[in-house]
Amino acid sequence: MSLLRQLQSKHVLCTAKLIDWAYENGYELTWGETVRTVEQAMHNAKDGSGIANSLHLVKLAVDFALFKDGVDLVELQDFRPLGEYWKTLDPLCCWGGDFISRPDADHFSITWNGIK
């Protein structure tokens, strides 16, 4: 089994743990983007909302919408508890809220080829 395939399975397992943790702590989640097409990645790179070599292309990233008490939470700080928990699951787990150039609070990924 290739390293990429192993990491894809690890990402699914970590995502399941994150979902459980979120609900245990009073949050609700809905899916955002999981798998992204090359065309979408290129479009996002062109308009500055993403990168061409997105981890969504290789099934190593997921975006969530976050809610608590029926309220749609969208601020970086709203996602911080989930991001901090995510990073405890594995040394390769990265949270988009930590991105320096463009924080991406709803993004949860596993590092691959130097990409977070």
Say if 98 falls within a structural domain. yes
**Measured between alpha carbons, how far is 28 from 6 in angstroms, rounded to an integer?**
28
At 49 the pLDDT is 87
**Full-model pTM:** 0.94
Q: How many domains does the chain have?
A: 1
Give me the phi and psi of 88, to 5 degrees please.
-80, -15
Say if 116 falls within a structural domain. no
Say if 115 falls within a structural domain. no
**What CATH number does residue 102 fall under?**
3.30.1380.10
With a CB cutoff of 8 Å and minimum separation 6, the contacts of 62 are: 11, 15, 31, 32, 33, 34, 56, 107, 108, 109
Say if 83 falls within a structural domain. yes
Q: State which residues form the domain around 50.
A: 3-110
Q: What is the pLDDT along the chain (116 residues), one digit of tens a residue?
A: 899 999 999 999 999 999 999 999 999 999 999 999 999 999 998 998 888 889 999 999 999 999 999 999 999 999 999 999 999 999 999 999 999 888 999 999 999 999 99
At 43 the pLDDT is 93
